[in-house]
Amino acid sequence: MIFIINIVAIFASFSLNHMNAIYWGAVLPILYAIVVAPHALIGRPDIPRTAIRRTLDGKWNNAEDLASYIIKYWMAFAYPVTSWKKQRNSVILYLTSFFLGTVYFFEELFVAGTVMFTAGYALYHMSLRVDRPRSVYANQELREDTECEFARREWELAAMSIIAFSDLYPDDKPSKDSSNQVLEDADVKLLLAKHRYDNGASWL
């Protein structure tokens, strides 16, 4: 839907003979950058950090690391069904923003161009964050990377955090379904044996 609306708005911007038509394509990216992007970028959880840590402390021996990762990418964990759509939308709209920003600068509309580049910058960073845990978990190269400790470490955190988030909301079906899918992973089972008390991990 966002894609279609965006195409129509851009087409109208360059085809209609109206004084303000050139700005119509900018409306959707700017609205998305103002309304949606901050939730992905700020990482503000719906429950206090202390409550998150307290809940995870009883189940994980790396609760602090998991809590930090979950809070950083809260929007991705909170909306597992739609996070990939938000990522797709943010990619479409940041490309649109940079395109329109370039057009505005060529038209010597410098304020409008600056606004669009700013919106594009925010949307670009949103695209990197809004579905990152699942994107990282699904990345086979990160899973198998034994040379880069940071890459493998993030893969492990992403996998465990998907499960840990369902500990915070045990009655939330989308989160539980997402967790159950990861629980079937043989590599993840090894991580659980090391870090989750229910699976035999020791207290550190």
The CA distance from 28 to 171, in Å, is 35
| Per-residue model confidence as pLDDT tens digits over 114-159 | 999 999 999 999 999 999 999 999 999 889 877 777 889 999 999 9
81 with 175: CB under 8 angstroms? Answer: no
Residue 93: the pLDDT is 97
Residues of the chain falling short of pLDDT 70: 199-204
139 with 125: CB under 8 angstroms? Answer: no
What are the φ and ψ backbone dihedral angles of 18, each rounded to 5 degrees? -135, 145
Residue 203: the pLDDT is 57
Give how far Cα 187 sits from Cα of 37, 137, 183, Å: 33, 11, 9
Residue 186: the pLDDT is 93
Give how far Cα 120 sits from Cα of 24, 30, 34, 124, 169, Å: 16, 9, 11, 6, 33
Residue 2: the pLDDT is 86
20 by DSSP, 3-state: which?
A: coil
114 with 133: CB under 8 angstroms? Answer: no
Residue 198: the pLDDT is 82
Residue 39: the pLDDT is 87
